């Protein structure tokens, strides 16, 4: 498991600057003035820092960017990093500064002289998230990241916020590790085992195997996995940190550990990326871990449906009709539209068993959402304006792109089947919307619900703001904030 970069919160010590052998970071205000640490560095370097920030290139930099003074005379450090950041920077700018520090080098220790600046915890969060590197499959261990020492005027006040940062980072890293892991390693059984490890944090974890799922009537979920040697499972994770008896918020994730498309097999080119088709389940798992680590005062239940979609003599066929736990029947037109079949049963089970205050499902569901929104925003579909607006607000606050998409009964006719209650696809037009309409049929009247189509944001082919190429962990931060917002935190 990838662990966050080691971080220590210490009281400001200007005498420590001269002999520090890694990288020393100082902040420069919008007016170009230096704080006490910056002035100390400038004296040690005989004015070199002042000349660096007086250069036109520094004035043209954006908030959160940095300039580097390599191997400064008068100091043991290999570099001084001058960060342009307003004294009253917002969270986004502070995180950007942390990202810049992470990009400046991962292997060497870094001394961040934050002094009495606000948002130091957000600098640490940006640094920690961007320093992630997935090395589980490497034959040689990755170089250990250099430790971070964050020097501030009042370390006792920053300490609890730094603990929150680590909890969030561990949740995000848990998601990224799961999404990056190859399918021959992260089988449905291995996935369930990793989730069972959350018991150590106080999460109640229950694993439902195929005989139990059959007894519950989860035939749409089981039909997806019947062509695989990897057994289908549903994992239920309960965090009971709120008031006893209060209805939980339910998070439901699609966990297709590999998606060949089944009998409706996908093209070979790019199929290797389908290891990420469990991204929704990965985000649910990461959110549950973050909530548990920070002892969130909330009741939240996470449910993930774990399957593998493979072609086989036993695999479901186009034209099959399967019955859901709800009782509705589905004509399978395309076996590559399997995620909605998994979610249909788990959504119904979540409502039937837990009677939650609201339901949010996450899934790498459609390529259509990537055509519509690219890799900048997840698609947000909802039947409840209050819950939807609360989520959009939380996502915006965390810098996680999300855009509301329409729903409406006019799309239902595209799912009409001649031989069953519905088809599992509605054709190419409005593909992400008809997928959401399909899921809405498994939401009870009056139940607040959000469907998040994260196909474009769960894993990206180039570096993103807070992550290197690969899994992003999108959604963990937004869901964590939403839980607090809904519970008055």
**pLDDT tens profile 223-253:** 999 999 999 999 999 999 999 999 999 999 9
> What integer pLDDT is reported at residue 144 of this predicted model?
74
CA 296 – CA 251 distance, rounded (Å): 15
> What integer pLDDT is reported at residue 1 of this predicted model?
83
Residue 466 makes CB contacts below 8 A (sequence gap 6+) with 95, 99, 126, 129, 130, 399, 472, 473
CA 223 – CA 225 distance, rounded (Å): 6
Alpha helix (H) residue ranges in 197-324: 210-216, 219-225, 279-293
Q: In the predicted model, is pLDDT for residue 352 greater than 80?
A: yes
Q: In the predicted model, is pLDDT for residue 291 greater than 90?
A: yes
Whether the CB-CB separation of 56 and 67 falls below 8 Å is answered with no
User: What's the pLDDT band for 140 if we cut at 50, 70, 90?
Assistant: confident
Extract the tokens encoding 175. 């998601």
CA angle, residues 457, 463, 469, in degrees to nearest 5: 75
> What integer pLDDT is reported at residue 83 of this predicted model?
95
Whether the CB-CB separation of 481 and 397 falls below 8 Å is answered with yes
Q: What is the average pLDDT across 257-266?
A: 98
Q: In the predicted model, is pLDDT for residue 166 greater than 70?
A: yes
Q: In the predicted model, is pLDDT for residue 254 greater than 90?
A: yes
Condensed to tens digits (0 to 9), the pLDDT of residues 63-99 reads 999 999 999 999 999 999 999 999 889 999 999 999 9
Q: In the predicted model, is pLDDT for residue 333 greater than 70?
A: yes
Q: In the predicted model, is pLDDT for residue 142 greater than 80?
A: no
> What integer pLDDT is reported at residue 258 of this predicted model?
98
Q: Is 441 a catalytic residue?
A: no
> What are the boundaries of each domain within the chain?
7-156, 172-486
> What integer pLDDT is reported at residue 139 of this predicted model?
87
User: What's the pLDDT band for 489 if we cut at 50, 70, 90?
Assistant: low
Residue 180 makes CB contacts below 8 A (sequence gap 6+) with 134, 136, 275, 459, 470, 471
Catalytic-labelled residue, pool 95, 289, 340, 481: 340
CATH of domain 7-156: 3.40.220.10
Report how far apart, in Å, the C-alpha atoms of 217 and of each of 116, 329, 332, 344 are: 59, 12, 17, 12
Whether the CB-CB separation of 345 and 325 falls below 8 Å is answered with yes
Instruction: Give percent of the chain with pLDDT exceeding 90.
Output: 94
Q: Is 266 a catalytic residue?
A: yes
Residues in the chain, total? 489
Q: In the predicted model, is pLDDT for residue 11 greater than 90?
A: yes
Q: In the predicted model, is pLDDT for residue 165 greater than 90?
A: yes
b/e 163-173 (16+ beta carbons within 10 angstroms → b): ebbbbbbbbbb
Write the DSSP symbol of residue 34.
B
Q: In the predicted model, is pLDDT for residue 342 greater than 80?
A: yes
> What integer pLDDT is reported at residue 106 of this predicted model?
66
User: What's the pLDDT band for 146 if we cut at 50, 70, 90?
Assistant: confident
- The CATH class, in words, for 172-486 is alpha beta
User: What's the pLDDT band for 108 if we cut at 50, 70, 90?
Assistant: confident
Q: What is the average pLDDT across 375-391?
A: 98
Catalytic-labelled residue, pool 43, 194, 266, 357: 266
Q: In the predicted model, is pLDDT for residue 488 greater than 70?
A: yes
Q: What mean pLDDT, rounded, does the chain reach?
A: 96
């Amino acid at each position: 498991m990838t662990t966050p970069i080691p971080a220590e919160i210490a009281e400001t010590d200007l005498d420590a600057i001269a002999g520090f052998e890694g990288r020393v970071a100082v902040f420069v205000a919008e007016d170009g003035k230096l704080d006490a640490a910056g002035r100390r560095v400038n004296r040690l370097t005989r004015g070199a820092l002042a000349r660096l920030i007086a250069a036109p290139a520094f004035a043209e930099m954006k908030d959160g960017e940095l300039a580097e003074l390599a191997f400064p005379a008068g100091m043991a450090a290999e570099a001084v990093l001058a960060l342009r950041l307003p004294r009253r920077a917002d969270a986004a700018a502070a995180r950007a500064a942390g990202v810049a520090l992470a990009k400046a080098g991962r292997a060497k220790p870094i001394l961040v002289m934050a002094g009495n600046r606000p948002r130091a915890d957000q600098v640490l969060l940006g640094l920690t998230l961007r320093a992630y590197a997935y090395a589980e499959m490497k034959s040689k261990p990755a170089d250990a990241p250099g430790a971070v020492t964050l020097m501030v005027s009042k370390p006792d006040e920053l300490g609890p916020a730094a603990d929150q940062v680590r909890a969030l980072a561990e949740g995000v890293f848990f998601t990224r590790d799961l999404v990056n892991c190859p399918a021959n390693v992260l089988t449905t059984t291995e996935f369930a085992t990793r989730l069972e490890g959350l018991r150590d944090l106080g999460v109640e974890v229950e694993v439902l195997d195929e005989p139990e799922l059959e007894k519950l009537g989860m035939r749409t979920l089981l039909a997806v996995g019947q062509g695989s040697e990897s057994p289908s499972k549903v994992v239920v994770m309960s965090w009971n940190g709120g008031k006893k008896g209060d209805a939980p918020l339910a998070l439901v994730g699609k966990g297709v550990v590999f998606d060949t498309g089944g009998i409706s097999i996908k093209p070979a080119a790019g199929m290797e990326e389908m290891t990420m088709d469990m991204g929704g389940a990965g985000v649910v798992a990461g959110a549950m871990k973050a909530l548990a680590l920070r002892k969130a005062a909330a009741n939240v239940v996470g449910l993930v449906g774990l399957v593998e979609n493979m072609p086989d003599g036993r695999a479901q066929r186009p034209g099959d009709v399967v019955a859901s736990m709800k009782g509705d029947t589905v004509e399978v037109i395309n076996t590559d539209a399997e995620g909605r079949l998994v979610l249909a049963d788990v959504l119904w089970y979540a409502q039937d068993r837990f009677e939650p205050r609201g339901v949010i499902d996450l899934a790498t569901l459609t390529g259509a959402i990537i055509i519509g929104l690219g890799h900048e925003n997840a698609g947000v579909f909802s039947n409840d304006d209050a819950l939807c607006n609360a989520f959009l607000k939380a996502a915006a606050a965390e810098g996680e792109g999300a855009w509301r998409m329409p729903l409406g009964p006019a799309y239902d006719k595209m799912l009409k089947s001649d031989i069953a209650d519905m088809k599992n696809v509605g054709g190419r037009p409005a593909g992400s919307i008809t997928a959401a309409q399909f899921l809405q049929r498994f939401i009870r009247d009056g139940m607040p619900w959000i469907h998040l189509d994260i196909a474009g944001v769960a894993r990206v082919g180039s570096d993103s703001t807070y992550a290197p190429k690969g899994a992003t962990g999108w959604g963990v931060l937004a869901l964590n904030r939403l839980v607090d917002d809904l519970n008055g935190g």
